[in-house]
Structure 1
Amino acid sequence: MLGPNKGVQSFATLAEILSQPEIWRQCLSELESSGAIREILDEAKSRTEWTFIGCGSSFYLAEAAAASWTMMTGQRARAVPASEILLFPGMSVRAAENAQAVVISRSGRTSEAVKAAQVLSQEHRLPTLGVTCAADSQLEEACDRTIRLLAADEKSMVMTRSFSSMLLALQVLAGEKSGKTEIASSLGRLADHFAGRVRALSAQVEEFVSEHSFADYVFLGQGPFHSLAREASLKITEMSCSYSQAFHTLEFRHGPKAVVNPATCLTFFLSEAGLQAESEVRAEMHHLGGLTIAICNRANDAIRRSSDFIFELGFDGPELATLAPFIVPGQLLALFTGVKKNLNPDEPKNLSRVVILD
């Protein structure tokens, strides 16, 4: 619960959310100057089946990274929770000569992630790449190579800038692998573009939350945006203890729409490739009485007519570059909803910053 003098601007979580464009710039600059991406790919030239592994937010990040990898490189990639590596290795481990494992953990100390890296390396002889925001971590010790994004680490419990920054790093890796070196420069332009918008977005989301109260939340996305829906759903559960679900957008018609009523907030992560079909679902849910949030690169007239809140990025660049900024409205919605419920987003109920098992 919040103390009597706790103002929203004093929360570390909000500061970390708002810092993301600058942190992206730092991380991208460090990746370029270190030469780490090129060194990793030189060692992985023959590896064409990539598995991205994580727990919680890092698993949803793994899903976004796997989707980005396949779409950029044309190679097969998938995401697997670390627990599946440990409990069902026969289903989840591909011990092929051309396989590469990427294990993601903000702290580098998450027990399941570290153990998964050890199992993959020692028992299955798979090359492992760790991605973390910590220095000299157990994950780094367990992996053959590690990408460290120290600037993206956080004081708060929930992952915000670490999620988006590690995603950008893996997109740079995929862009370099595909030979599309312009990806890194487009992500740099993205950071500059979003820097001028993030504080206005924060104020807009805070106002929206102050004017509405909801009983439940639904987050919807297709393709690479489905992982964002899952991550945003987790954020509002963590920071506001609200009931939330995530679905593929068009799948929501097939039963789940029964829950829609005026106390339902539906957030749509709208893709450019599927905009028409996804917008039809959004309009249908609006007609059923739900309040709709549209997160998109560019809104058309139909979106403007039947959305209660719109975040329009307006970025001229590859669509996959929009993933990182698209998650930010969901982070802000979660934070301000928690504050409205007199909860402390820096100290969510029942959570610890790192899940360490005996």
Structure 2
Amino acid sequence: MTSPESTRMFAEAREAADVVAQQIARNAAGAATLGAALRAAPPRGVLTCARGSSDHAATFAKYLIETRLELLTTSAAPSVTSVYRATPETADTLAIGISQSGRSPDILATMTAARDAGARTVALVNDITSPLAALADTTLPLDAGPELSVAATKSYIASLAALIQLVAEWADDPELRAALDGAPALLRAAWDSDWSPLVERLADARGLYVIGRGLGFGVAQEAALKFKETCGLHAEAFSAAEVRHGPMALVGPGFPLLVFRQSDETGDGVDELVREVVARGGEVLVAGSAVPGAIHLPHPAAAPAIEPMLQIQAFYRAANALSLRRGFDPDRPPHLAKVTETL
């Protein structure tokens, strides 16, 4: 039987702390220059452009930018440009393309159209020789190195770190800078956090909801994707606010919830949801708080903006083990390839 420590997913996810430390240092000057330029000539809005795990990083970007800079941030629908051949008006905006490979045709088409319409373009990309890096006004390398497992791990965490660094410099926020500087040590501690209860509880599960809110919603989306692609487990991500509508009809015994909770303004509402589900007899696994009756998944204490990357780092190790426990190979999900060239 394959051991969890022998997979590429395990090895690559474990590198995230070193990747983030290297990335922070490498991009310090570039992020500071870009941040100063954005303060001097503020864009009228932000457009993010990404697919898959990178789009989950874009969800995190939306909440981080809108809460720290109060600037409207919108996720592009790449098919508007690549399929419908429409060109939304993006003059005087900031367009951020996020990609591991930097080669997906629809992302390239959208970013090219945004640039040609007058947007300032920024690429967060792992492959700095890629077309996306070439077309952008500014490239902030993810610096994650080769990622051979189909499941993105360290490149996703690197994307979160790059977004935090960009916003910290743009907002000239010393507290956010300091929080990011401490992230590599906290990522190492998060990797050692014991999330084995998640593996035990979900070994035979047939489906679940993954819940987040605000800064944590992007990692909820990412965890739901990883459950599907590496564990053969159907999972849907919902906001802690949205799940109270129709989706709550499924919640109860036999249908667990995984909840990502941050220690910010959303925390009390998330705790209330957890207590409600526990009272209904539902099983809840919670990262970020210890609500009576729920299963607590530990991680190091950190500033709220850093907590999501710590939580997803601990999750990646557990997801790798869960994949093997359920009889899958996390490095070779069925029907998937590393680079998805969507038109």
- 2:322 corresponds to which residue? 337
Q: What is the letter of the counterpart of residue 314 of structure 1? A: A
Deviation at 1:269, TM superposition (A): 1.4
Which letter maps to 2:207? D
Which residue does 2:4 correspond to in 1?
8
**Residues 211 and 267 from structure 1, CA distance in 2 versus in 1: closer, same or farther, beyond 3 angstroms?**
closer
Q: How many Å separate the matches in 2 of 1:47 and 1:238?
A: 39
Taking structure 1 as reference, are residues 335 and 101 closer, same or farther at Cα in structure 2, changes over 3 Å only?
A: same
Distance (Å, rounded) in 2 between the aligned partners of 1:339 and 1:350: 18
Decide whether aligned partners of structure 1 residues 47 and 211 sit closer, same or farther in structure 2, where only a CA change above 3 A counts: closer
Structure 2 counterpart of 1:168, which letter? A
Partners of 1:30 and 1:142 lie apart in 2 by 20
TM-score, structure 1 normalization: 0.87
1:269 paired with 2:256, answer no
Please tell me the residue identity of whatever aligns with 1:258: A
Are the equivalent residues in 2 in contact too, given 1:152–1:165 (CA < 8 A)? Answer: no
Q: CA deviation at 1:15?
A: 1.4
Q: TM-score, normalised by structure 2?
A: 0.91
Residue 137 (structure 1) aligned to one of 130, 134, 150:
130
Match of 2:18 among 14, 18, 22: 22
Cα distance in 2, alignment partners of residues 262 and 330 from structure 1: 23
Please name the residue that 2:297 is paired with. 310
One of 98, 103, 110 as aligned partner of 1:109 = 103
Q: List per-residue Cα deviations over 1:239-292 (Å, max 9, x = no partner).
A: 112111111113212121221233222111113312222112112212333321
Task: Please show how residues 28-39 of structure 1 align to structure 2 within 5 Å.
Answer: 28-32=24-28, 35-39=29-33
SS at 1:264 equivalent: coil
1:337 is displaced (CA, Å) by: 2.2
Computed over aligned residues only, the root mean square deviation of the Cα atoms, in angstroms, reads: 2.2
244 and 156 in structure 1: CA distance in 2 versus 1, 3 angstrom threshold? same
Q: Give deviations 1:80-116, integer Å, cap 9, x for gaps.
A: 24334434676x83423x3110111111112221222
Q: Which residue of 2 aligns with 1:243?
A: 234
Letter in 1 for 2:49: I
Percent identity of equivalent pairs: 20
Match of 2:279 in 1: 287
Contact persistence 1:68–1:174 (CA under 8 A) = yes
Over 3 Å counting, the alpha-carbon distance change for 1:197 and 1:101 in structure 2 is: closer
Gaps of 5+ in 2: none
Q: Is the 8 A contact 2:191 2:314 kept in 1?
A: no
Matches of residues 137-216 of structure 1 in structure 2 within 5 Å? 137-199=130-192, 201=193, 204-206=194-196, 208-210=198-200, 212=202, 213-216=204-207
Q: Pick which of 207-216 and 134-143 moved more.
A: 207-216
> Number of paired residues?
339
Deviation string 1:316-349 (CA, Å, 9 cap, x unpaired) is x3x1122211222432343222211211100111
Aligned-partner Cα distance in 1 for 2:269–2:37: 42
Aligned partner letter, 2:139? T
- Whether contact under 8 Å (2:195, 2:298) holds in the other structure is no
Q: Residue 340 of structure 2 aligns with which residue?
A: 355
Deviation (angstroms), 1:207: 5.2
CA contact (8 A) 1:236 1:335 kept: no
The 2-side partners of 1:320 and 1:89 are apart by 37
